[in-house]
A and B are shown apart, each in its own frame.
Chain A
Amino acid sequence: MIENYLIQNGFGCGSVKNFANEVAERTKFAKDERWYFSTPIITNVSGGLAECTVHVAYPFLAQKGETVESGVYVSTTESAQQKYFEVCDFFKEKFLVPKKKLTFVPFWSFSENEKRLERADAGGVRVHVLVVDLTLRYKEVWLRGCTTVAED
């Protein structure tokens, strides 16, 4: 149900196995303005109350001149922070959000076994990624109407 809610609100998604590839492929073609979430989202439900942790990521293109981590501009970091605020605001409109963890990953390599000093660009595009883990708590009835399977 929570997955449908996110899709209906413009999120992209990828499975745990292909999450990085999904995000990378989309980012190669155009500036992507979407957040992506990793599926499945494990939800604990008890007595109509639900809790889950969503793993979401927001990719954005590096600015010209950003070639090493120490060269990531302040404006880039600030825009990442702004995106973090935006996604928090989105979730807080519907859910209680008790725990938050954010990681800003400069020059995401799209590889699990990356050598961080030798990371290659993905398709000639340098991409930073904002990764956020949010714990959401809600009453199941709050998501009423999001039961149909939506297509991405």
Chain B
Amino acid sequence: MITHANFKLYPTEIIGINSDYDLELQAMELSAIEMLEYSGIVEDIAEVIQLLVFILFWNARRSEVINTVGETKTVKEFTEASSIQKNTALFLAEKRLKAICFEKGQTADFEMFKLFYDYL
């Protein structure tokens, strides 16, 4: 079961995360498992799931907004996390899932990764 303790090291380090987020992380873990549709046992892809949960965590975050005063007020949203870090996590998730599927003779839904292209 994924908890905040899983997110202490690069590339899935989330600074400031604590046990308050554990329930949310566990719900995301279930979503990640459903999205991946891995045909083998879930334990095989624990590392991949963690990488995907890292991405889902940032998808769910509220970001700061900037007001620019003018005729109309435009508010832009930006994310606090490094895009490079998130892209790295996504790249590794797909790469490692391919390796695991090849090694174990299992299948997974690789199309799912397209949902995240140009995402971060």
A residues near B (Cβ < 8 Å) are 46-49, 69, 77, 81, 84-85, 88-89, 92, 96-98, 100-106, 116, 137-139
**Cβ distance A42 to chain B, nearest Cβ, rounded Å:** 18
Q: Total contacts A to B, CB within 8 angstroms? A: 55
Within the complex, the shortest CB–CB distance from B119 to chain A, in Å, comes to: 4
Known contacts A85-B62, A92-B59, A139-B112; is-contact A98 B119 (Cβ 8 Å): yes
B residues with CB within 8 A of A: 35, 59-60, 62, 65, 67, 71-77, 111-112, 114-116, 118-120
- How many angstroms from the CA of A47 to the CA of B112 in the assembled complex? 9
What residue in chain B is nearest A100 (Cβ atoms)?
A: B77
Taking a contact as CB atoms closer than 8 A, the residue among B67, B73, B77 that contacts A106 in the complex is B73
6 nearest A-B residue pairs (beta carbon): A98-B119, A104-B73, A102-B75, A137-B115, A100-B77, A47-B111
Q: Distance (Å) between the CB of A115 and the closest chain B CB?
A: 12
CB distance from A82 to the nearest CB of B (A): 11
- Tell me whether A49 and B115 are in contact in the complex, defined as CB-CB below 8 angstroms, given that A89-B62, A102-B77 are known contacts: yes
Contact A84 B75 (CB under 8 A): yes
B119 touches A96 (CB 8 A): yes
The answer to whether B62 and A139 touch across the interface, beta carbons within 8 angstroms, is no
In the bound complex, residues from chain A placing their C-beta under 8 Å from that of B60 are: 92
